[in-house]
Amino acid sequence: MKKWLCAAVAAVVGAASLFSFAGCGGDGRIKVRIGMWPDSSLKKDNEMYEKWEQAFEAAYPQYDIVADRYEYSAETIVAKATAKQLPTVFQTYFTEPQKLIENGWVADITDELNELGWLDKMDADMRDAVSANGRCYGVPRDGYGMGLFLNLNMLYDVGLIEKDADGNYKLHDETGKPLYPTTFDEIRRFSEEIVETYDDTYGLVVLSANNNGGWQFSNMAWNFGCEALQVKGQNGKYTANLNDPAAVRALEWIQNMATDGLIYPDASLTYADWYAKIGSNNVAMAFCGSDALMLPVTTFGFNRDDIAFVPMPTGDGQSRYSLYGGTPYVFASNATKEQIKGALLFLKYMGRSPETDDISISAIELGHQTAKAKGMPIIQTIRPWTNAEFLEKANELDTRYVNVNRYYYDDFFKSLEKMKRAEEPYYCQDMYDLLDKAIQNVLAHPGTANCKSLLDTANSQFQNNFLNKIK
């Protein structure tokens, strides 16, 4: 967009150009607002983004990169989108793109991706999550799988695991059998040992607020034998199945753990609380995503050498799934083609593209260097791109910068491909909210809560208020 064109447009339409031609700055440069810019308190992260910005603007002087910190939430997206105040590019969850697409809040970027040659290099599962009707509306940042976080030092201290001659924690016996919990019954047994040994310390933290409890509970329900929480009929209609007998058993497991004082006694914990409790040595275990393992370290100084991350356990002895999700970048629907192209090119300068030139690889390396400077555990990444050249170079960097004992993570990553399972298809965040309320009730009243009744209520509300909307 030329400088003279911006000036002419401004002269003709005046204030209306604020929305219609938001890409024109006073200096004629195309403004690209980056919504995932780190908080100002994160000095090293800001320095990293500023280096990317300087390199990008030197190569593309027609663009002006603008920090526009936006943390996605279901509460803010409607107002932001309606007022056309969304950043050019921002992050969300893989549960959200279909809603964003249906409401017309995010842009179709298929043509731009094809022009760059990126579309066919995306992980197919991640691409499907950001696509509709054969068109693509986002770029995946990375993926995660849900697993079980272990405080190895605490488990060793109570004699649940041992160390080898070199002082490394042993996660398997001589036959290769895991010594860590592989069933929910074993999580209970481990929790009993922890509670008996320590004062004011618990085996597990269970979340129940900000949709985080329902998110984790869906994975628990699958692993207790629930085939699906949303069942598609032969007529194509979806039926809620939140009160499946296996889901009831999963909630009863939480109830029994709470009744016996084995889980942290709080009925309103969010995702920030799992790593707060782990980092403060209040609990020994937590369910979390593989993309969040650094949080106890960076926030609470937890020793990264005392972390193991293992596969999700089974509740029925057979079912073992790992909820597989991730973070996509999406683009505001009122962004111009020039802004979208600039935002995509900036992703390359962040190391978030499938490109393998010096710019792209050095950006990934800067990310590793920043993580290292912050003392973060650097582990294997679930990458969104599948082209062999990219994976080869990215894996080389992983080998160079990984600073943890890979053995403590091997079982999770080796099993993920066969265990991974996408989130339920519709209104996930709303479903999680209803499940949160059921979990909150159980944690607040473990002695009297009726798990079946609570899930019956959640099921009815989800069907009537949400699934019945699907045409």
Give the C-alpha separation, 347 to 398, whole Å: 20
- Tell me how long the chain is: 471
| Cβ-based neighbours of 185, under 8 Å, separated by 6 or more | none
Task: Provide the pairing of β-strand 322-331 with 138-151.
Answer: antiparallel
Tokens of 237: 């209609």
User: What pLDDT is recorded for position 194?
Assistant: 98
Buried b (16+ CB within 10 A) or exposed e, 72-85: beeeebeebbeeeb
pLDDT the model gives residue 14 = 37
Domain boundary among 401, 416, 441: 401
Do 335 and 23 meet the contact criterion of CB atoms below 8 Å apart? yes
Count of Cβ atoms closer than 10 Å to residue 396 Cβ: 11
- The predicted pLDDT at position 20 comes to 34
Dihedral angle, C-alpha 82, 83, 85, 90, nearest 10 °: -10
**List of residues 6+ apart from 71 with CB closer than 8 A:** none
Residues 198 and 291 placed together within one structural domain of the fold = yes
User: Of 373, 401, 429, which marks where a domain is finished?
Assistant: 401
Domain assignment of residue 396, given as a range: 3-142+325-401
Instruction: Decide: 303 and 76 in contact? Cβ < 8 Å.
Output: no
First to last CA, the chain: 41
The first and second tokens of residue 54, run together, are 């300087």
- Say whether both 9 and 122 belong to one domain: yes
- Transcribe 317-369 into DSSP letters: SS---EEEEEEEEEEBTT--HHHHHHHHHHHHHTT-SS--SHHHHHHHHHHHH
Count of structural domains, the chain: 2
Residues 224 and 275 grouped into a single domain = yes
Verify that 284 and 332 share a domain, yes or no. no
State the amino acid at position 315 in one-letter form. Answer: G
pLDDT at res. 24:
62
199, 77: one domain? no
Regarding whether 102 and 65 lie in a shared domain, the answer is yes
Residue 8: the pLDDT is: 38
Query: Hey, what are 430's tokens?
Result: 């709303």
How many other C-beta atoms lie within 10 A of the C-beta of residue 421? 19
Sequence-separated (6 or more) residues with CB below 8 Å from residue 383:
123, 142, 143, 390, 391, 394
> In a 10 Å sphere around its CB, with 0-12 CB exposed, 13-18 middle and 19+ buried, how is residue 358 labelled?
exposed
The per-residue pLDDT for 440 is 98
Please provide residue 424's backbone torsions phi and psi, each rounded to the nearest 5 degrees: -60, 155
Q: Which two tokens stand for residue 461?
A: 């509300």
Domain with residue 58: its CATH number is 3.40.190.10
- d(C-alpha 220, C-alpha 222), whole Å: 5
- Give the pLDDT score at 1: 34
Type of residue at 24: C
Q: What is the pLDDT of residue 6?
A: 42
- Full pLDDT tens readout for the chain, 471 residues: 333 334 433 333 333 333 333 466 678 999 999 999 999 989 999 999 999 999 999 999 999 999 999 999 888 999 999 999 999 999 999 999 999 999 999 999 999 999 999 999 999 999 999 999 999 999 999 999 999 999 999 999 999 999 999 999 999 999 999 999 999 999 999 999 999 999 999 999 999 999 999 999 999 999 999 999 999 999 999 999 999 999 999 999 999 999 999 999 999 999 999 999 999 999 999 999 999 999 999 899 999 999 999 999 999 999 999 999 999 999 999 999 999 999 999 999 999 999 999 999 999 999 999 999 988 889 988 999 999 999 999 999 988 999 999 999 999 999 999 999 999 999 999 999 999 999 999 999 999 999 999 999 999 999 999 999 987
β-bridge pairing 30-34 and 63-67? parallel
339 and 425 co-located in one domain: no
Distances (CA, A) of 106 to 33, 72, 83, 84, 264: 14, 13, 13, 11, 40
Q: Answer whether 397's CB lies under 8 Å from 361's CB.
A: yes
What is the 8-class DSSP label of residue 144? Answer: E
Give the closest residue to 155 by CA, choosing from 35, 268, 308.
308
Task: State whether 287 and 412 are in the same domain.
Answer: yes
What is the C-alpha separation between 396 and 389, in angstroms, rounded? 11
Instruction: Indicate if 134 and 148 belong to the same structural domain.
Output: no
Same domain flag for 312 and 460: yes
Question: How far is 203 from 185, CA to CA, in rounded Å?
Answer: 12
Task: Give the integer Cα–Cα distance in Å for 180 and 261.
Answer: 21
Q: Are residues 112 and 151 in the same domain?
A: no
How many helices (DSSP H) and strands (DSSP E) are in the chain? 19, 15
Question: Domain end: 374, 401, 428, which one?
Answer: 401
Q: Tell me the pTM.
A: 0.87
State the CB neighbour count (10 A cutoff) for residue 13: 12
pLDDT of residue 93: 92
Bridge pairing between strands 307-311 and 138-151:
antiparallel
From residue 236, alpha-carbon distances to 79, 206, 230, 232, 253 in Å are 32, 34, 12, 6, 33
Same domain, 161 and 261: yes
Q: What are phi and psi of 423, to 5 degrees?
A: -65, 160
Tokens representing residue 191 in the block = 């929790």
